[in-house]
A and B are shown apart, each in its own frame.
Chain A
Amino acid sequence: MSRLGHYFIFLGSLFRNREKMRVYLGLILNECTSIGVGSIFIVALVNTFIGAVTCVQTAYNLTNPFVPKNIIALIVRDSTILELAPTLSCIVLAGKVGSNIAGELGTMRITEQIDALEVMGINSSSYLVLPKVIASVLMFPLLVMMAGFLSILGGYIAGVLAGVISPEDYVSGLRFDYKPFGVTFALIKTVVFAFLVSTISAYQGYNVSGGALEVGAASTSAVTNSCIAIVAADFILTQILLT
């Protein structure tokens, strides 16, 4: 509970005694490049294959001849939009971005770079962490949108190449009983996950004390805690928004 309290105090410090906005603009752009562009490949790769696997496995399990083939595409679409693209992508991003944030801040802490900022009278947590949080909240949804598209495309390619579904059935399944709120739901979840991953990882890294061993441990904790927070928030948001 005390760590949770420290986490909320840390969040408060991000918004108090901030520097001028012009200071943050360049930093946010740099972080967007690092977090967004730097994560495109892994997110694209993972989601394309996840979509492909979902399609083939769904087809494998749908053996009843009375169930139309286009249901396979519907299942790929809904599972991608509602769960796989936002949640799985954010878990992947927790591993990539979260460990990076914790490692970077932890190293800055043990090499006194954060102290150097503090003695200059700069709010180090706000200067270092806020741009990462804003960049995450901006870039995660873009990555998740790309992830959703590629996952459904991966399902199409795998389904057609494996001969489990025809292109026409796949497209018709994608269009069948489509609820646009699913995309809104996915984006809401992603924004929450982005905030959790970036702040939890930053908190772990910013509060490191010790040496290289502790920085490594902080990176591990950042990923572990972010993943736990993602799945817990996923359940809570699903309960709130879909029931």
Chain B
Amino acid sequence: MIEIKNIAKTFGDRQVLAGIDGTFKPGDTSLIIGGSGTGKSVLLKCMIGLVKPDSGEVLYDGRNFLTVDLESQKAIRREMGVLFQGSALFDSKTVLENVRFPLDMLTEQSESEKLDRAQECLQRVGLENAGDRMPSEISGGMKKRVGIARAIVLNPKYLFCDEPNSGLDPLTSIKIDQLISEITDEYKITTVVITHDMNSMMEIGEKIMFLYKGNKLWEGDSNTLTQSSVPELNEFIFANKLLREMEK
């Protein structure tokens, strides 16, 4: 379980996060939603240690990530898998080498064990035949799937996905969402997804947190999302014409 308590962050004189609290449970796909510039990505970066918050706590099964020593922090990091917005695959490595990379760097497994595990993960995301290709030779959707394979290769307890659907067509987006949701359920991972994609919210939002101007304005799930009385959330959800008409 991941708990965040009173996370605040200011850049210069601009407050990006104003004391965010939340709990993310194992086996749930939790979504953090909100418009651009509301602090979603900064919150994620605070949670995974890429940005140091000004105040607050990030607890991974009770371990405060921000105050533990370096070795414990490394141990927590090794329990994390992160899918970045642009997939962040290493350009100079093949798809298989990208997936194998965490195993090469962080484990003492034999060559055959590492190869088997990397192939297994590629198979899990449906890319067992793409191992020899370079990231530049595959599509955006495939890159996301390779990113997921790399994120789960170490059997993480916590999976973070930063806008996994950005730049993808609706059908591929849904496939990626379903893959994340299945993996979360299968391995009982605590998954946190940053998104502003309505399909994702309705499809996989077991728990949803709405951020607005650095504040948490609403918390619920995909069933209650459209019935909220928070005007900012309604404005965000019913931003497009089709949904506005459906609301009427």
Contact = CB atoms under 8 A, between A and B. Distances in A.
Does B bind A? yes
A121 B86 contact: no
Contact of B78 (A23, A107, A115, A121): A121
Interface string B47-69: 01110000000000000000000
B2 to A, nearest CB: 14
A120 interface: yes
Nearest to A110: B86
Contacts of B85: 112
A119 B73 CA distance: 10
B105 A116 contact: no
A113 B105 contact: no
A221 to B, nearest CB: 22
Given A17-B70, A111-B86, A119 B80 contact: yes
Interface residues of A, number: 15
A168 interface: no
B105 A120 contact: yes
B70 A120 contact: no
B105 A115 contact: no
Interface string B62-105: 00000000100110011010101110111100000000001001
A115 B102 CA distance: 14
Contacts of B77: 119-121
Contacts of B86: 111-112
Residue from the set A111, A115, A116, A122 with the largest chain B CB neighbour count within 10 Å:
A116
Contacts of B80: 119
A116 B78 contact: no
B106 interface: yes
B106 A119 contact: no
Given A17-B70, A116-B82, A121 B106 contact: yes
A120 B48 CA distance: 10
B135 to A, nearest CB: 10
A228 B48 CA distance: 39
Contacts, number: 44
Contacts of B73: 121
B84 A115 contact: yes
A116 B77 CA distance: 11
Interface in B93-141: 102, 105-106
Contacts of B84: 112, 115-116
Contact of B88 (A17, A19, A111): A111
A115 B106 contact: no
Contact of A112 (B70, B78, B88, B106): B88
Contacts of B49: 118-119
Contact of A120 (B78, B89, B91): B78
Given A113-B88, A116-B82, A19 B105 contact: yes
B150 to A, nearest CB: 8
Contacts of A118: 49-50
A121 B86 CA distance: 20
Contacts of A17: 70
A121 B74 contact: yes
B173 to A, nearest CB: 20
A122 B105 contact: yes
Nearest to B80: A119
Given A111-B86, A111-B88, A120 B106 contact: yes
29 contacts: A19-B105, A23-B105, A107-B91, A108-B91, A111-B86, A111-B88, A112-B86, A112-B88, A113-B88, A113-B89, A113-B91, A115-B50, A115-B82, A116-B82, A118-B49, A118-B50, A119-B48, A119-B49, A119-B50, A119-B77, A119-B80, A119-B82, A120-B77, A120-B78, A120-B102, A121-B73, A121-B77, A121-B106, A122-B106
Interface of A: 17, 19, 23, 107-108, 111-113, 115-116, 118-122
Given A17-B70, A107-B91, A119-B82, 9 more contacts: A111-B88, A111-B91, A113-B91, A115-B50, A116-B82, A118-B50, A119-B50, A120-B102, A121-B74
